[in-house]
A and B are shown apart, each in its own frame.
Chain A
Amino acid sequence: MANQTEKQYTEILGLIQAIAGSGLDEVFIENGYKIKVRRNSEVVTVQAPVAVPAQVFAAPAPAAHAAAPVTTALPTEVATPEPAAAAKNEIIVRSSMVGTFYRAASPNDPDFVKVGDTITKGKVIGLIEAMKLFNEIESDYAGKVVKILVENASPVEFDQPLLVLEA
């Protein structure tokens, strides 16, 4: 049994190395096991360790005194966190602005898009209100709407995922 696992391990390691040097961005292999190797095309930014150096979070204050406890609490995200890594044929449409996202032109109008709709590039998928101005948000991609990630009238930040499309 151990031999089999060891053999598989060496094989997988070899595959990963070969893929890394191949220049391919993404490879999916199924051979009794399944592996997906994806190369990040952007500059790699290292995830900071969660244990931030002691300097930042200063001397521990006795619990009774803490007005706003300075602990390792992560900052409140403005909206929903990043969805799980998109599958091969999925495209995430992201916000290019900061503001409040609306799914329809007005409370009485139907939503611009709903799950199941097939949209073309340039289709208005929502409005983002910023500084009292409403901006039409157009999709840069075509596809079928698989998931809508923001609720009506919710705040969005730059780069925030709005929709998932299936190409």
Chain B
Amino acid sequence: MFKKILVANRGEIAMRIMRTCKEMGIATVAVYSTADKDSMHVRFADEAVCIGPATSKLSYLSVTNIISAAEITNCDAIHPGYGFLSENAEFSRVCQEYNIKFIGPSPEMINQMGDKATAKATMKKAGVPTIPGSEGLLESIAEGMKIAHKIKYPVILKATAGGGGRGMRIVNNDSEFEKAWNEAKMESGSAFGNDGLYLEKFVEEPRHIEIQIVGDRYGKVCHLSERECSIQRRHQKLLEESPSPFITAELREKMGEAAVKGAKAINYEGAGTIEFLVDKDRNFYFMEMNTRIQVEHPVTEEVTDFDLIKEQIKVAAGEPISGRNYYPKLFAMEARINAEDPSNNFRPSPGKITELHLPGGHGVRIDTHVYNGYVIPPNYDSMIAKLIVTAQSREEVVVRMKRALSEFVIEGVKTTIPFHLKLMDDPQFQEGKFTTKFLESFDFNNL
């Protein structure tokens, strides 16, 4: 087992990883930028190394400084968390070269799943249902239109290097095709430096349901059931839950099996998530694979009673997984509390927290790094806490979430708490009848 792990991240996920390390008797090293000097994860770790100025590129994204920090503190492993370098193949490779175990996938796996067109082709070959569309990148508009006729409009042009909803254009008929092509190419070229496009059938009003998997280095893969993540605003998740109110035991079995098949096909090692789009007829299609621990992992942890970070560390240290699948025993939801003003287009609201009271009680979990008096720096993403609520039924989760949210006091900055409160009262949400389009018609006034 590892003796010392460097956590190459910040904020709540750094806290999360270090907490499990402490339980496992593993020493922890925090890295931080000058802007995070007073951050909680710095104080929580056994050792801390300042790795650069506020700019992420020169600190949290600096492979050199992070590897150097691991060297001078004699770490034998690095946990990258999510975001930053967690899906950076080069970082994974450099760790290998310097004999530091990267708690995540190999560079080859990252590359395979990082390129969307390749990932889709790989999954299709493994027998995982994929959205009908082009085989790889499109060579021309003519080719695109030919495929669109075959699979039937509406279709969507997508950037192979894309993410966060950029480099995508929906096409409803032939006359829209050329304009959409040109726009998508230009947007993806400038945002990702790669203007390759592929084509897919546009699944209307889908639900985003993902399956958590874990694989060990001996070829075993298991799944930990689904997370429903359709509550998204501009492709950013705001609330996640498990089990999905839309899924049946049969669908869970089918999707779980498909996810395991896909992960086995690439000899996946570590924790990962396979995202699916599910249409109104409960057909599911592979969307993408995330080769890292995800923000919303606590939802799965609470309903299956499983420490996913601990499993990641064990697998990285060469321990085998049980091979069993895990199913939800309870119901849980996670509300992302961001320092943003939901009444003003979710404008970021950094600044000093002048008053803080965290909710508590049975079935309430908070993953956060903030404290009373903490100054939220403007340089990083705005998520400041995750409120995870668990209960014996979905109805009780909603009631408990409402209670916990109304007990949650953060003053000095604006947060998404008012949005979540209104969401809990929404009848459609309460019935579990929503898709990824749900928030498009949500009234963000009068929160």
Q: Which residues of A are at the interface with B, using a C-beta cutoff of 8 A? A: 45-49, 52-53, 55-56, 67-68, 70, 74-78, 97-100, 130-131, 155-160
Q: How far is the CB of A77 from chain B (nearest CB, A)?
A: 8
> Is the Cβ of B38 less than 8 Å from the Cβ of A98?
no
Complex-state Cα separation, A88 to B42, whole angstroms: 31
Digitize B46-71: 1 where CB-to-A-CB distance is under 8 Å, 0 elsewhere: 11111111000001000011011101
- Once A45-B38, A75-B30 are accepted as A-B contacts, the answer to whether A157 and B51 lie under 8 Å apart by CB is yes
- Residue in B45, B64, B374 whose beta carbon sits within 8 Å of that of A131 in the complex: B64
Closest to A128 in B: B68
> Is the Cβ of B98 less than 8 Å from the Cβ of A131?
yes
Complex-state Cα separation, A78 to B47, whole angstroms: 7
A74: chain B residues at CB < 8 Å are 43
- Once A48-B373, A68-B22, A131-B68 are accepted as A-B contacts, the answer to whether A75 and B48 lie under 8 Å apart by CB is yes
Complex-state Cα separation, A142 to B50, whole angstroms: 26
- Residue in B27, B73, B366 whose beta carbon sits within 8 Å of that of A78 in the complex: B73
Chain B residues touching A, range: 35 or more
Q: How far is the CB of B303 from chain A (nearest CB, A)?
A: 22
- Answer whether residue B372 sits at the interface, using C-beta atoms and an 8 A cutoff: yes
> Is the Cβ of A75 less than 8 Å from the Cβ of B43?
yes
Complex-state Cα separation, A131 to B43, whole angstroms: 26
Closest to A101 in B: B72
Complex-state Cα separation, A21 to B71, whole angstroms: 47
- Answer whether residue B375 sits at the interface, using C-beta atoms and an 8 A cutoff: yes
- Residue in A70, A78, A159 whose beta carbon sits within 8 Å of that of B22 in the complex: A70
Complex-state Cα separation, A98 to B32, whole angstroms: 12
Sample of 15 A–B contacts (CB below 8 Å): A52-B40, A55-B368, A56-B44, A56-B371, A70-B22, A97-B65, A97-B68, A98-B65, A130-B64, A130-B67, A130-B68, A131-B68, A157-B50, A158-B50, A160-B50
Complex-state Cα separation, A74 to B40, whole angstroms: 11
- Residue in B40, B48, B373 whose beta carbon sits within 8 Å of that of A56 in the complex: B40
Closest to A132 in B: B98
- Once A68-B22, A158-B52 are accepted as A-B contacts, the answer to whether A131 and B71 lie under 8 Å apart by CB is yes
> Is the Cβ of A46 less than 8 Å from the Cβ of B68?
no
Q: Is the interface of A mostly helix, strand, loop or mixed?
A: loop
Q: Is the interface of B mostly helix, strand, loop or mixed?
A: mixed
Complex-state Cα separation, A138 to B372, whole angstroms: 41
A156: chain B residues at CB < 8 Å are 72
B65: chain A residues at CB < 8 Å are 97-98, 130, 158
- Once A45-B38, A67-B25 are accepted as A-B contacts, the answer to whether A52 and B49 lie under 8 Å apart by CB is no
Q: How far is the CB of B273 from chain A (nearest CB, A)?
A: 28
Closest to B94 in A: A131
- Residue in A46, A53, A68, A158 whose beta carbon sits within 8 Å of that of B53 in the complex: A158
> Is the Cβ of A159 less than 8 Å from the Cβ of B46?
no
Q: Which residues of B are at the interface with A, using a C-beta cutoff of 8 A? A: 15, 22, 25, 27, 30, 34-35, 37-38, 40, 42-53, 59, 64-65, 67-69, 71-73, 94, 98, 352, 356, 358, 366, 368, 371-375
Complex-state Cα separation, A49 to B353, whole angstroms: 13
Complex-state Cα separation, A46 to B352, whole angstroms: 8
> Is the Cβ of A48 less than 8 Å from the Cβ of B69?
no
> Is the Cβ of B43 less than 8 Å from the Cβ of A99?
no
> Is the Cβ of A48 less than 8 Å from the Cβ of B71?
no
Q: How far is the CB of A66 from chain B (nearest CB, A)?
A: 11
A78: chain B residues at CB < 8 Å are 47-49, 72-73
A130: chain B residues at CB < 8 Å are 64-65, 67-68, 71
Q: How far is the CB of A6 from chain B (nearest CB, A)?
A: 32
Most chain B CB atoms below 10 A, which of A76, A98, A156, A159: A98
- Residue in B49, B71, B372 whose beta carbon sits within 8 Å of that of A157 in the complex: B49
Q: How far is the CB of A28 from chain B (nearest CB, A)?
A: 27
Q: How far is the CB of A95 from chain B (nearest CB, A)?
A: 9
> Is the Cβ of A158 less than 8 Å from the Cβ of B37?
no
> Is the Cβ of A99 less than 8 Å from the Cβ of B72?
yes
B59: chain A residues at CB < 8 Å are 158
- Residue in A53, A75, A100, A131 whose beta carbon sits within 8 Å of that of B372 in the complex: A53
- Residue in B35, B43, B368 whose beta carbon sits within 8 Å of that of A52 in the complex: B43
> Is the Cβ of A47 less than 8 Å from the Cβ of B38?
yes
Complex-state Cα separation, A78 to B42, whole angstroms: 12
Complex-state Cα separation, A100 to B68, whole angstroms: 9
Closest to A55 in B: B358
> Is the Cβ of B73 less than 8 Å from the Cβ of A155?
yes
- Once A55-B366, A131-B67 are accepted as A-B contacts, the answer to whether A46 and B73 lie under 8 Å apart by CB is no
- Residue in B22, B50, B371 whose beta carbon sits within 8 Å of that of A48 in the complex: B371
> Is the Cβ of A98 less than 8 Å from the Cβ of B47?
no
> Is the Cβ of B47 less than 8 Å from the Cβ of A99?
no
Q: How far is the CB of A165 from chain B (nearest CB, A)?
A: 21
B53: chain A residues at CB < 8 Å are 158-159
Q: How far is the CB of B92 from chain A (nearest CB, A)?
A: 15
B38: chain A residues at CB < 8 Å are 45-48
B35: chain A residues at CB < 8 Å are 45
- Residue in A48, A56, A76, A100 whose beta carbon sits within 8 Å of that of B47 in the complex: A76
